[in-house]
Amino acid sequence: MTSSETLEVAFVTDGTSGATVWDTANGTMLKTYRHTASLGQNCVSLLGNDYLIAADKGPLIHTWPINSQEKTHQVRMLCGGKINSLAASPDGLYIAVAIGEKLQVWMCCSGKLLTTVNRHFQPITIIKWSSDGSYLVTGGEDGIVCVWSLVKLINMSKAFMIQTFFSGDQTDQSAPNYTFSDHSVRITGIYIGNCTRCIRIFTTSVDKTCKIYDLSTGIMLLSIAFDVIPSSLTVDSVETAVYIGTSTGPIRSLDLTSPPRTRECYITEKETGVKFIGHSKAVTALSVSLFGDTLVSGSTDCTLRTWHIASRQCLRTIQLKEPVINMFLTLTPRQLTNSELDSSIILRSFKKTEEQNDDYFIEVFCNNDLFDEENDTFGHVEDTSIREELEKIKTINTRIYEFALNSILKDNEPNLKEDIDISSFSLIDLESYGEKNGFNSNNSGDEESSIVDLNECSNIPKRKKKNRKRSKKSKKNPNVENISYIYM
């Protein structure tokens, strides 16, 4: 099976210089990353799928392209002190570094130091990220486990995160979400579950205990005491079994499907049901495969072993020259054997000081700013065709509305011809009305001289005589108001 067909590989560091990549299924070494010194424990991490970063107990973080044996010298990640532990976020955007009791978070694409916090009393020994990159969990030699929110960490500038007071109690924005002080001495292992609804945190310590916490509530769910010091810890992908490496060599397994009835319990060597026996010295690293069928362990006895979980049999043993310090399983990076690296992660050299002020402002553009013709921010030109069509439609709708309104008002106007009967008026009334309006009423005996033009006297109620034929002009255009005559 070639490296391109291998599903999972193990990144291993031992007492010799550099790191190596192993195919644990057939025991072949796929790649070597050269270095002049031994890398520190919990100081090796993958930066996305493009780089391998590590520290050798110094202030400098070394970077290797995933497809190259030689370190890259294009970036210089220099921190402010001796590095005890480091871990990169799953998305490759941030690097968490422990320097003594301090925790620092750096941004890879800009090289800026986002924050520095200090809540441990002794040096931090291990850093772990949650699978979604939203939480950081740190453990130190003081036995304290701190849970940090990434949102709070990257927004912790003193100039912008003003401390507030409620009921006389000071609310510190730089405080971790939870601080667990149930362990008494150094933390040896931390595992963060992958379940989205109920995330659990597993911790082991030199005080011979393993504790399980609920991340959402901060409550300790279970505390298990052993008769031997647990030196490493891992959990399968479905979180039904916990595997604990001991300082004496055997690997113990706990079934979480049938947990103890009490919140605290003590398990001796005789009571431990499942054991993986093969290592003769302390187990420093454990990792379960993606499908949960195999377990890989590294020990200070200079061996790397692959176990079949169901049968607890050792499938393969890889002999190394020096004790195993770091080991973790991961999916095979797609560019592991490529000749050229097509990186999706931007790396910058770390800056010396923590910058504040203007770096924490975000420029926000409104709609008018985005499409300003004079100062087009993004190089776009506004499409005015849609706006012109809308204006045309508005004009047409206005005209239709006016036409309909006029038509309705004209139809509702009263028709005096049909509503008023001219026969109800007497001759005397008409004569008196004509005298007032300048009409001559002396020739009243003559029928022809008694014709009254109703168009000149528009105020006179008018109605055509019954059975009188309409004029030809009125037939051609009935909408035109006819001139009617009344014969007295």
pLDDT band per the 50, 70, 90 thresholds, residue 29: very high
What is the residue-wise DSSP string for 215-260?
TTT--EEEEEEESS-EEEEEE-TTSSEEEEEESSS-EEEEETTS--
167 within a domain of the structure (yes/no): no
Instruction: Please tell me whether residues 390 and 318 are part of one structural domain.
Output: no
State mean pLDDT over 54-71.
91
1 within a domain of the structure (yes/no): no
Instruction: Please tell me whether residues 401 and 435 are part of one structural domain.
Output: no
Q: List, for residues 311-348, the tens digit of each pLDDT value.
A: 999 999 999 999 999 999 999 998 998 888 888 888 99
Q: Where are the beta strands (DSSP E) in 109-198?
A: 113-118, 124-129, 135-140, 145-149, 164-166, 169-171, 178-180, 187-192
pLDDT band per the 50, 70, 90 thresholds, residue 166: very low
Reply yes or no on whether the pLDDT at 163 is more than 70.
no
Distance, in Å, from the CA atom of 63 to the CA atom of 52, rounded to the nearest integer, reads 6
376 within a domain of the structure (yes/no): yes
Q: Of 50, 27, 30, 41, whose CA–CA distance to 327 is shortest?
A: 41
Instruction: Please tell me whether residues 309 and 187 are part of one structural domain.
Output: yes
Reply yes or no on whether the pLDDT at 69 is more than 80.
yes
State mean pLDDT over 340-363.
70
3-state SS class at 317: strand
State mean pLDDT over 194-203.
85
Reply yes or no on whether the pLDDT at 103 is more than 50.
yes
397 within a domain of the structure (yes/no): yes
The tokens of 384 are what?
Answer: 């005015």
State mean pLDDT over 297-316.
94
Q: Of 218, 215, 220, 255, whose CA–CA distance to 235 is shortest?
A: 255
Q: List, for residues 377-394, the tens digit of each pLDDT value.
A: 444 455 678 888 888 999
Q: Of 104, 65, 33, 22, whose CA–CA distance to 298 is shortest?
A: 22
pLDDT band per the 50, 70, 90 thresholds, residue 52: very high
Sign of CA dihedral 214, 215, 217, 218: positive
Distance, in Å, from the CA atom of 189 to the CA atom of 286, rounded to the nearest integer, reads 10
Q: What is the pLDDT of residue 388?
A: 87
Instruction: Please tell me whether residues 482 and 337 are part of one structural domain.
Output: no
Q: What percent of the chain has pLDDT over 90?
A: 49
Q: What is the pLDDT of residue 120?
A: 94
Instruction: Please tell me whether residues 281 and 265 are part of one structural domain.
Output: yes
Structural domain total, the chain? 3
146 within a domain of the structure (yes/no): yes
Give the range of the structural domain holding residue 440, as residue numbers without chain letter.
419-486
Q: What is the mean pLDDT of the chain?
A: 79
270 within a domain of the structure (yes/no): yes
335 with 350: CB under 8 angstroms? no
Q: List, for residues 249-291, the tens digit of each pLDDT value.
A: 999 998 888 877 888 888 877 766 678 999 999 999 999 999 9
pLDDT band per the 50, 70, 90 thresholds, residue 351: confident
Distance, in Å, from the CA atom of 147 to the CA atom of 98, rounded to the nearest integer, reads 14
Reply yes or no on whether the pLDDT at 355 is more than 90.
no
Instruction: Please tell me whether residues 393 and 459 are part of one structural domain.
Output: no
- Please, which residues have CB within 8 angstroms of residue 112's CB and are 6 or more apart in sequence? 106, 351, 354, 355, 359
Which of 334, 354, 374 marks a domain boundary?
A: 354
Distance, in Å, from the CA atom of 209 to the CA atom of 193, rounded to the nearest integer, reads 18
Instruction: Please tell me whether residues 408 and 309 are part of one structural domain.
Output: no
Q: What is the pLDDT of residue 408?
A: 86
Q: What is the pLDDT of residue 278?
A: 92
DSSP state of 378: T
Instruction: Please tell me whether residues 143 and 204 are part of one structural domain.
Output: yes
215 within a domain of the structure (yes/no): yes
pLDDT band per the 50, 70, 90 thresholds, residue 376: very low
Q: What is the pLDDT of residue 256?
A: 87
Instruction: Please tell me whether residues 251 and 372 are part of one structural domain.
Output: no
Instruction: Please tell me whether residues 211 and 302 are part of one structural domain.
Output: yes
pLDDT band per the 50, 70, 90 thresholds, residue 14: confident
Q: What is the pLDDT of residue 15?
A: 80
- Please, which residues have CB within 8 angstroms of residue 241's CB and are 6 or more apart in sequence? 235, 253, 254, 255, 256, 309
166 within a domain of the structure (yes/no): no
Q: What is the CATH number of the domain that holds 347?
A: 2.130.10.10
Instruction: Please tell me whether residues 317 and 403 are part of one structural domain.
Output: no
Reply yes or no on whether the pLDDT at 209 is more than 80.
yes
The 230-235 sheet, strands edge to edge? 230-235, 241-246, 251-255, 274-276
Q: Of 134, 128, 137, whose CA–CA distance to 93 is shortest?
A: 134
Distance, in Å, from the CA atom of 182 to the CA atom of 202, rounded to the nearest integer, reads 12
Instruction: Please tell me whether residues 263 and 304 are part of one structural domain.
Output: yes
Q: What angle do CA 350, 351, 352 make, to 5 degrees?
A: 120
Sign of CA dihedral 451, 454, 456, 457: positive
The structure tokens 């025991």 sit at: 27
